[in-house]
Amino acid sequence: MKSPKTVFLLGAGGMGMAPLALYLNGAGIRVEAFDDHFVEPVRTQLLESGVEVIDEPLPRNPPDCVIRSSAIDKESEYLKPFLKRRVPIFRRGDFVARFTAHRKVLAVVGSHGKTTTAGMLVWALEEIGHPVSYLVGGRFEKDTILPGQFIRDSWVVLEVDESDGSIDGFSPSVTLALNSDWDHVDQYSAGESFEETLKNLFTRTSHEIVVPRKSKLQEIAESIGPDSVTCFYPRSEESADFLSTNQAAAFAAGKSMGFDLSEVDFNLFPGMKRRQSVLFESESRIVMEDYAHHPTEVRSFLSQRRILQPEHFLRVIFQPHRFSRTEKLAKLFAEELSLADDLYLLPTYGAFEKFDPAGAVEALTGYLAPRLRKETVVFDDFTDLRSALGSSLESSKKDQIVFVGAGDLERWAHAFAAFEKTNGNKHDAFSCFLADRLSPTTILRANIPLGSKTTMKVGGSARWYAEPAHSEDLRMLVDACELFGIPRVMMGRGSNLIVPDQGYGGLVLRLKGSFWKEISLRSDNNLIVGAGARLQEICRYACKNGLVGFEFLEGIPGTLGGALRMNAGAMGWETFDLVEWVSFLLPDGSIRKIPGTDLTVGYRYCREAYEGIALRAKLRAEGRSDHRAIRTAIDKLASKRRSTQPRESSAGCIFRNPEETPAGKLIDQLGLKGEREGSAVVSNLHANFIVNEGGATAEEVISLIKRVRERVRETRGLLLEPEVGILGKDWNEYLS
């Protein structure tokens, strides 16, 4: 295969694709990578290595080919533009097979233990001073060791995935086959068909086949070419010591590559994430997580726990991975899980499979040991699970709590461990959980004064304050709030908000970094704008580029996010007059781009921005004009604003305009201009503004609002409704 110069990786956040991005980037190829769900530290690792992480499924440079993860279906909308332009599209496995075809490849295959063994092997080679190229399908416990690396002219150690059939494209120099249990039931109709696949791979292996002694794999390998077969000693079934099996396999594989690993102390191997990882340990409790998602792996892990901690009550939280596997292997899963003293289940994690009731977690409950069958419950709420498990402080007996599975139970495992580490204090647990989950450029701080971050300049502090560096960190913060029961609220420029004097007991989120401030011109007279961009910047940018329709934004001191939430408007225009689409982080954690015409929008209101978080939008110009003409229109509006609105600190209009008369006019007619409460004063220039003359408190502003509202009600029989928001509160608390 001719090496591409530029590649585009779709679904690049997963542990198949991210290592490939690192590998290709190391090989000098320009890599653009997109995923709608990156996690940290993978995203930062890619960026720091020079991979271009992009926020839209459209690369900036025309790629020579596209590589898609197995999570991206071949019919995916994302692929359409490339199909149209006849850009070659490869599945990850197919690409890797072709790209490495002329190199010395050691392929690690099998149903279990591939990641740990491959990780152990490349770590050991590094230890003896022979670093090699590699692609490993998981993260190392030490994040300084990356999951993919390119070294010119070295061996390439590849963890080869059997799940999508792309294994058939590999012809390695050495094959290390660890085991051959039936798995990936959608791909292999029975255990034998996987063995057949491995047999074919052995036939294509040019140099050596490494297999466990006295195994079916040895028989298969020797039936092909006994001279080129090397065996390693597997663990015995009883010892449950699969780490020493992995070591033996790595050692034998190293030897067949020509390296002597006998000096390596494998006990120093830092391990792979989610492989028998201890998350918390005290005298009475151990909390662990393991990636086991096949009955054999579950048996190995649980029997090992029984041997290592015989005194500890074994409590297992299990989440099945994929509906197809759960359906076919339900009975086996249930048998192995019956090793638990207590069992707690989570709904099946579908990965990219569609929901199938036959593979729902309930499929295995009927096969559980009678002792567990009645007691076992399926949890879909973390707080319920946490209270079922209880805290180690309350527990009278020693226990080991193990989270087992390959789905998203990882979040729950770590959240639970964070609570244990912090004696159940939810705020400490929240920061402990987030400590290594956010990119280094994200800001998360405790007890931050908020008044100076608003235009009104009143109010207390936020218990937590964050400026997420990008949408993944935003999503992580939102998710953590959900897990730890911490309320959260968005703040833009704070130009329509009053912060109460008591502050806010939860997390205040602000979209402040460069990621959120994007304003870019698209060829069709549209702007893509991040929710953190200032309205005045958007207006200036549009003017500079000769785009008409943005002029009214000039005097509104907010950000696009706040303007979308409020449908901010002036002089007869509203924000949603400009909107083509908005992308939101929705309450279910998904990110969706919604066309303007499908949004529920009204006077100073947008439902979707109220329920979700606006991330970015496409704004449409009314047309084009000379920038000088646009500048003149802007100047006119600005001068009108200057003559009608106060310069002092304020939060803009306090009340919504009733249909009959503008609120400002009503208040003025009642002679309330100049009315004051401490340093909060009804503006003499615009009666619907309350200004802070300096040192006002939120309480003063709020009592003045109440007083004005009461006067209007008494004299005009009209109940003015506030337009300005009160951070984290509902006006009903103050106005009833």
How far apart, in whole angstroms, are the C-alpha atoms of residue 363 and residue 378? Answer: 11
Q: Rounded distance, CA 699 to CA 624, Å?
A: 47
- How far apart CA 682 and CA 691 sit, in angstroms, is 6
**Which one, 302 or 614, has the nearer CB to ligand FAD?**
614
Toward ligand FAD, which CB reaches closer, 91 or 686?
Answer: 686
Element (H, E) at 536: helix 535-544
State the minimum distance, in angstroms, from the CB of residue 160 to ligand FAD.
43
Which of 390, 346, 380 is CA-nearest to residue 364?
Answer: 346
SS3 726: strand
Using CB under 6 A as the binding rule, whether residue 651 contacts ligand FAD is answered as yes
CB of 382 to ligand FAD, least distance (A): 25
> Among residues 105 and 563, whose Cβ is nearest to ligand FAD?
563
Binding of ligand FAD at residue 609 (CB under 6 A)? Answer: yes
What DSSP string runs through 139-178? -BSSTTS-SEE--TTS-EEEE---TTSGGGG---SEEEE-
Contacts of 369 (CB under 8 A, 6+ apart): 338
- Is there binding between residue 471 and ligand FAD (CB under 6 A)? no
Q: How far is the CB of 531 from ligand FAD (least distance, A)?
A: 4
- CA–CA dist 324, 189 (Å, integer): 11
Farthest-apart Cα atoms in the chain, separation: 102
Query: Which residue from 106, 185, 316, 570 is in contact with ligand FAD, where contact means CB under 6 A?
Result: 570
From 511, 617, 654, 712, residue interacting with ligand FAD (rule: CB under 6 A): 511
User: Contact between 459 and ligand FAD (CB under 6 A)?
Assistant: no
Q: Which is nearer to ligand FAD, 18 or 708 (CB)?
A: 708
Tokens representing residue 558 in the block: 């907010």
Q: Please tell me whether residue 664 binds ligand FAD under the rule CB under 6 A.
A: no
Task: Give 610's contacts (C-beta < 8 A, 6+ positions apart).
Answer: 565
Backbone angles phi, psi at 591, to 5 degrees: -110, 125
Is 531 an interacting residue with respect to ligand FAD (CB under 6 A)? yes
Residue 610 CB, nearest approach to ligand FAD (Å): 7
Place of tokens 């193990």: 402
Window of 42-50, 255-263, 409-417, 486-494 that interacts with ligand FAD by CB under 6 A: 486-494
Q: For residue 146, which of 12, 291, 11, 22 has the smallest C-alpha distance?
A: 22
Q: Which range in 218-226, 241-249, 427-435, 550-558 contacts ligand FAD by CB under 6 A?
A: 550-558
DSSP per residue over 317-380, as a string? EEE-B-HHHHHHHHHHHHHHHTT-SEEEE-PPB-TTSPP-GGGSTHHHHTTS-HHHHTT-EE--
Q: Which stretch binds ligand FAD (CB under 6 A): 77-85, 383-391, 560-568, 707-715?
A: 560-568
Q: Does 558 bind ligand FAD (CB under 6 A)?
A: yes
> Distances from the Cα of 498 to the Cαs of 491, 608, 682, in angstroms?
11, 22, 15
Residue closer to ligand FAD by CB (options 249, 491) is 491
Q: Which is nearer to ligand FAD, 489 or 638 (CB)?
A: 489
What minimum distance in Å lies between the beta carbon of 670 and ligand FAD?
22
- Tell me the closest approach of the beta carbon of residue 520 to ligand FAD, in angstroms: 18
Residue 229 or residue 704: which is nearer to ligand FAD going by CB? Answer: 704
Give φ, ψ of 417 to 5 degrees: -65, -40
**Does 474 sit near ligand FAD (CB under 6 A)?**
no
732: phi then psi, degrees, rounded to nearest 5: -55, -30
Instruction: Select 491 or 507, whichever has its Cβ closest to ligand FAD.
Output: 491
Task: With contacts defined by CB under 6 A, name the span among 77-85, 283-291, 350-358, 565-573 that binds ligand FAD.
Answer: 565-573
CB distance 606 to 567 below 8 Å: yes
Query: 60: number of CA atoms within 13 Å, CB side?
Result: 10
Residue 257 lies near ligand FAD (rule: CB under 6 A)? no
Q: How far is the CB of 444 from ligand FAD (least distance, A)?
A: 18
Q: How far is the CB of 641 from ligand FAD (least distance, A)?
A: 7
Q: Does 448 bind ligand FAD (CB under 6 A)?
A: no
Query: Given the complex with ligand FAD, which of 156 and 599 has the nearer CB atom?
Result: 599
Active-site positions read 604, 653, 723
Among 27, 65, 443, 489, which residue sits at the site for ligand FAD (rule: CB under 6 A)?
489
The residue (of 275 and 565) whose beta carbon lies closer to ligand FAD is 565
Stretch that binds ligand FAD, among 1-9, 120-128, 366-374, 488-496 (CB under 6 A): 488-496
Q: Which residues contact 57 (CB under 8 A, 6 or more apart)?
A: 10, 34, 36, 78
Residue 491 near ligand FAD by CB under 6 A: yes
Strand locations in 623-696, DSSP E?
A: 623-624, 676-677, 680-682, 690-692
Give min distance, CB of 490 to ligand FAD, in A. Answer: 4
Q: By CB under 6 A, which span of 71-79, 409-417, 425-433, 645-653 interacts with ligand FAD?
A: 645-653
Q: Which stretch binds ligand FAD (CB under 6 A): 45-53, 152-160, 172-180, 606-614?
A: 606-614
Tell me if 696 contacts ligand FAD by CB under 6 A: no
Q: Which of 650, 688, 692, 697 binds ligand FAD (CB under 6 A)?
A: 650
> Which one of residues 407, 492, 530, 664 is an interface residue with ligand FAD (CB under 6 A)?
492
* Residue 709: both structure tokens together: 């509202």
Alpha helices, H only, 451-503: 471-484
Query: Does 493 interact with ligand FAD (rule: CB under 6 A)?
Result: yes
**Interface with ligand FAD, residue 451, by CB under 6 A:** no
CA dihedral over 605, 607, 611, 615, signed as positive or negative: negative
If binding is defined by CB under 6 A, does position 468 make contact with ligand FAD?
no
Residues binding ligand FAD: number (CB under 6 A): 32
CA atoms of 627 and 521, how far apart (whole Å): 15
Smallest distance, ligand FAD to C-beta of residue 599, A: 12
- The least CB distance from residue 688 to ligand FAD, in Å, is 10
In sequence order, what are the beta bridge partners of 277?
289
| Residue-by-residue DSSP string for 564-616 | HHHT-EETTEEGGGSEEEEEEE-TTS-EEEEEGGGS-EETTEEHHHHHSEEEE
Site membership for ligand FAD, residue 561 (CB under 6 A): yes
Q: How far is the CB of 668 from ligand FAD (least distance, A)?
A: 17
List the structure tokens of 230: 């090397």
**Spatial separation of the C-alpha atoms in residues 589 and 412, rounded to whole Å:** 15
* Residue closer to ligand FAD (CB basis): 314 or 568: 568
728 touches ligand FAD (CB under 6 A): no
The region of 109-117, 264-272, 624-632, 643-651 touching ligand FAD under the rule CB under 6 A is 643-651
How far, in Å, CA of 595 to CA of 613, rounded?
Answer: 15
φ, ψ dihedrals at 561, nearest 5°: -55, -50
Report how far Cα 181 is from the mean position of its chain's Cα atoms: 32
Contacts with ligand FAD, residue ranges (CB under 6 A)? 455, 489-497, 511, 531, 556-559, 561-563, 565-566, 568-570, 609, 613-614, 645, 650-652, 725
